[in-house]
Every structure is written in C-alpha cells, then in structure tokens.
Amino acid sequence: MTTKTNFISSPVRIFALGGLGEVGKNTYIVEDDDTLVIIDAGVLFPEQGFLGIDYVIPDYSYLKANSSKIKALFITHGHEDHIGAIPFLLQNVNIPVIYAPRLAAALIKNKLEEHRQSTRVKIVEYNEDSLISVGSFSFSFFRVTHSIPDSYGISVDTPQGRIVTTGDFKIDLTPIGPDISLSKITRLGDEGIDLLLSDSTNAEKEGYTPSESSVAGAIDEIFKITSQRLIISTFSSNVSRLSQITDSCIKYKRKILVIGRSMETAFKISRDYGYIKAPDSQFITADQLKDYKNREIAIICTGSQGEPMAALSRIASGTHNLIKIIPGDTIVFSSSAIPGNTISILKVCNDLQKCGANVITNSVFTNLHASGHPSKHELRLMLKLARPKYFMPVHGELHMLKIHGLLAEQIGIPKDNIFICGNGDVLELFHHEVTRSSRRVEADNIYIDGKDVTGLSTAVILDRNILADDGMVAALIAIDSRSNEVLALPEIITKGFVYPDEKSIAMINESKVILKDAISEIMKRKTTFGEIKNVAKSVLSSYYFKHTHRNPMIIPLIMNKLEEK
C-alpha cells in the first residue's frame, strides 16, 4: 500500500456538504488540520414545491470559515449534480485550482465563461495515469463507466490511510466508450482501502443496470418505423445518448435541429472534443426546417423532466417561438423520471398528445433509457473488488444508503465498520481506523432564486409553501403605547386564505374581536411590540385553524399613536 507512514497528529476528517439523503448537490470534503480538499461541487434541481427556485446548493459556511486551508477542488465527471455549483462556490471562497477530466474541464470552462468567472480559477486536466499531490494528500484516478465520457473514481492517500470514492459509475461490460478500470480498482483493494465511498443511487434495484449499448437498438428501431418528424428529449449531459441519437440520424438521413441552450452547449463541446462525430452539414437551423420533408428531420431538445422553461415544455404548451407540434410528430423521452418530476412529465406528455403527437416514453417495452448508476450486483462486485476496511455509502436518498450498507454487511464488512451518514456528519480517519466524530458541520440547503447568488434559507422556502398552500393574513393593530390601550378593532386583510362569502366574513369579524380582547389583556401591564405580535400570531393561528384547518401566514402590523406636539 502506498499510503504515507509518517503519521502526523491530526486525524483526517471526511464529510459531505451535499449528496447524502438526496440525489444531487454532491460535495464531499477531505481535510486535516492543514489541508482541505473538495471532491465535486454539484447542484440539486428543485422538485415541485420549491417555488421560484432554480437550484439548490450546499451551505458553504464551513468552507468560508476554513478558506485558508482550501487547496483544490477535484471533479469526478461533468454532470450538473457534480459541477453545477462551481460558479456559486467560487463566489463564496477562493479555489486555487480545479482538477477535472477532459470533458468535465471543458464544461466547467464554458460554465465559468457564462458566469464571467473564467479568469478566477486555474483548471488542470487529469487522466487515469495522473498522480497529484496536494498538501499532505496524494491523488490517483481510475476510469469508470457512466452516462457521460471521462468519468473517474478517485483514490486519496493521506498520512492516516487511504480513502477511495467511486464517483458515479456502473459496471458496463459493453460500454459506449472505454471500459471501467476493474484491474486498477482490484489493485487498490489488494494494497488496502481504509474507507470506501460508493454510489448508492440504484441500490434498491436488483441485478445489473442495462448497458448503455442496449439503448442503441431501441433508438434505431424508432428511427426505422417513424415516417414523420422525430422530436427526442433526453438529458443534455448524457453525451453517450446524444452520440447514439446522432449516429441514427446519420444512418436514416435525418437532419438535426438542436433546441435548448444546455443541449446546444453539450453538442458544441462534445463535437469539439470528438465525443460526437458528425459533419456540420448534418445540422440545420430552425428557419431551414421548411427546406426538408418531415421524415428528414430530427429535433433534439431539453425538457425530458417536464421542466416548465425547458424547450419541450414550451413546445407542448404552444409557447415556443420556433417549434410548433405538427399532428403526427413522434416525441421520444429517452430518459427516466427523476423522483419528484413524474407529475410534470405527465403534464407535458398530455399536452403533446392533445396537439396530435405520438408520445413514446421509456418502459420495459421500449428500453429507451439505461441508468448510469449501479444496481445491487454491481455494488456487490465493487465492494468485493475494493474490499474496504470501512464503508460509507454516498450519493443517494436515505433508504438507498441503508440498502447499500446492508449489501456491504452481507458480503462480510462488519456492521460497526459501515457508516450511514447525513450531510454534515463527520468521520475521522486516524492510523487506518475510522470512527464517527461527535462534531457536526453545518450543512443546510441554500436556494438560488434567479440571480440572487447569496441564496435563500430553508425558512424562506417554508414561508413560500405556507403562502402557496394556506395564504396570508395581515392584522393591522392600532394602539396607544402611552395609555396602554387598543384604539380600535384590528383590521384583518386576507390574501389566498378564504373566499369572501358570508360565512368567512363573519369568521374574520369575530377574529377581530378576539384579537382586540387578547391584546387589551396584555396591555394592562408593561409589554413590548414583540410580545403583542407574538400574541396576535398565536391567537389568530389557533382561531383560524380551529375554523378552517388551515395555517395561513400571520403578519401583525402595529400602528402606534404618536405624541402630539
């Protein structure tokens, strides 16, 4: 084993700011007293109910407090849940250097140019043969198969032991692109892995994840039988899928129109770097559609998850300024639904069918999508090859992490050596032994709303949900603080709470009297504006819930009579 033997007194701490108990915003930290290294910096895309939110990122408070120790950011691959938060991270802390695989490095450079941050950080490409030293840590890499080229796992040799993270992977024996480096993973296991962090996203699925190459036949069959326009939506980051679709377009002589900014970026970078091979003549612009027959056109667009502002959603609703549905169009969803997006996807499918389109989604019959993550047999095989002394499942919701932990126990890792952690939980590696620390790191969510890069707290999102679900009640309370009296019945204004019919008006009027009596009672003694507001919230919340079983947001406004001069 190549781990350094000159032990220092500082244990190595390992924890996540994102990626545990969720599928997204992967951000993992490895640090000792002198060096802090970040592995991945991803976003989480908001589900329904995250009103007005574009991205969810980790709370970077810990990194800001320890910014002098930050030496580097390492990226495993180029998906948004691993690189999407880099612009926001750079606005919070200084990152001296980003190490990334070739395609991920290109995607990051493009992202930083869009955010006008391209000069703020050095980006260095690595490959499977790279060896990088950062502080007291040494990094090496092994290739894995995933749904985007240039995906890697990372081995971190520290003075206290070896930590290995698989990154996102599946064990695809017939991949689109290079093979997974099973021999290197085995060699790392032979030398000794103290702590393994491994992808848990498909831990609840038995068997093996289908090969990406298995999707090619299904896509080819659709091209073969479709005689009208084809509109295909998939993840813009799934470069392997985009390459397969492009190959079918060339085979069946269909020109390609790419719609959606992220899709256009993915095609440009992938073609520039040779991951998608197609001449310029294969692509057309929207104003050239009229020059070709419907059977000669394939439109590739964003929106496979029903995102309201994505191209396919706007096409389905008839609001896209370039593309309108023609009856007989075939729409292909070459993706699976991310948890939380099912309702949005169904709405888009229904809207498309109302316009006269044929809609084909992924199923056991169509096989239009293969996950990029490992199922149970692959997880078992990875654990067998790596043979870690300690194990920490990562990248998954809590039930996925627990299932993955159980798999590790079943193949022989002691239960006490398996750590099911949440964001902010800290493990300590010291002299090749891993223990759970008593300390925790702040790891809240920060919600990015439009261009507000400072983010919003969880409390703001809860308030938005309350307003959306139960509405708002404003209570205007007029008092005279000199005489300690309520000057009049409070005024109650409601928005989105109750319909103003005879019954609700009577309820509101009664609540005014109850509120006045409650405030008059506390004003018999010395009180404060804060206490008056708290009483107003308590009295009105209790009263309205009793009569409506709803919890509107209560906003008390106190108007104090000023002394006349």
The pLDDT, as a whole number, for residue 453 is 52
User: What does the pLDDT look like over 460-485, one tens digit per residue?
Assistant: 656 666 666 778 889 999 998 888 88
pLDDT greater than 70 at residue 7: no
Residue 1 has pLDDT above 60, yes or no: no
pLDDT at 457: 53
Closest by CA to 166, choosing from 285, 77, 267, is: 77
- 511-520: average pLDDT: 92
pLDDT over 80 (residue 459): no
List, in sequence order, every residue forming a beta bridge with 56; answer none if it has no partner.
Answer: 44, 447
Question: How far apart are alpha carbons 326 and 505 in whole angstroms?
Answer: 50
Quote the DSSP letter at residue 172. Answer: -
User: Hey, is 208 helix, strand or coil?
Assistant: coil
| Residue 367, C-beta contacts closer than 8 angstroms, at least 6 positions apart | 210, 214, 215, 217, 218
Token pair of 333 as six digits: 């969803």
pLDDT band, very low/low/confident/very high, at 2 (cuts 50, 70, 90): very low
CA-CA distance, 552 to 511, in Å (whole number)? 14
pLDDT in tens, 60-81: 999 999 999 999 999 999 999 9
d(Cα 194, Cα 391) in Å, to the nearest integer?
A: 8
pLDDT, position 465: 63
* pLDDT of the residue at 126: 98
Q: Which of 92-106, 182-196, 508-522 has the lowest mean pLDDT?
A: 508-522
When pLDDT is cut at 50, 70 and 90, the band that residue 498 belongs to is confident
Residue 515: burial class (beta carbons within 10 Å; 0-12, 13-18, 19+): buried
Residue 246 reports pLDDT greater than 70 = yes
The reported pLDDT for the residue numbered 553 is 86
pLDDT of the residue at 4? 46
Secondary structure class of 301 (helix, strand, coil)? strand
Q: Is the pLDDT of residue 420 over 80?
A: yes
Average pLDDT value for residue range 326-335: 92
The average pLDDT across 91-112 equals 95
- Residue 97, pLDDT above cutoff 90: yes
Mean pLDDT, to the nearest integer, of 213-220? 87
With cut-offs at 50, 70 and 90, classify the pLDDT of residue 344: confident
By CB atoms closer than 10 A (0-12, 13-18, 19+), residue 377 is: middle
pLDDT of the residue at 78: 95
- In this prediction, residue 427 has a pLDDT band, given cuts at 50, 70 and 90, of very high
Greater pLDDT, 497 or 452: 497
**Residue 437, pLDDT score:** 96
| Residue 50 confidence (pLDDT) above 60 | no
The percentage of the chain sitting over the pLDDT mark of 90, rounded to a whole number, equals 69
pLDDT at 549 over 80: yes
Across 52-56, average pLDDT:
70
pLDDT of residue 6: 47
Does the pLDDT value for residue 47 go beyond 70? no
- Please give the pLDDT value at position 118: 73
Give me the chain's average pLDDT, please: 90
Tell me the average pLDDT across 200-221: 91
| Global confidence as pTM | 0.80
Q: How confident is the model at residue 100 (pLDDT cuts 50, 70, 90)?
A: very high
> Which pLDDT tens digit goes with each residue over 272-285?
999 999 999 999 99
CA–CA separation, 180 and 153 (whole Å): 10
Q: For residue range 127-157, what is the model confidence (pLDDT) as tens digits? A: 999 999 999 999 999 999 999 999 999 999 9
pLDDT at residue 369, rounded to an integer: 81
**CA angle at 78 for the pair 45 and 147, rounded to the nearest 5°:** 90
Contact between residue 410 and residue 403 where contact means Cβ atoms under 8 Å apart? no
Lowest mean pLDDT among 44-53, 57-66, 217-226, 517-526: 44-53
Predicted local distance difference test score (pLDDT) of residue 460: 62
* Exposure string over 212-243, b if 16+ CB within 10 A, otherwise e: bbebbebbeebbeebebbbbbbbbbbbbbbbb
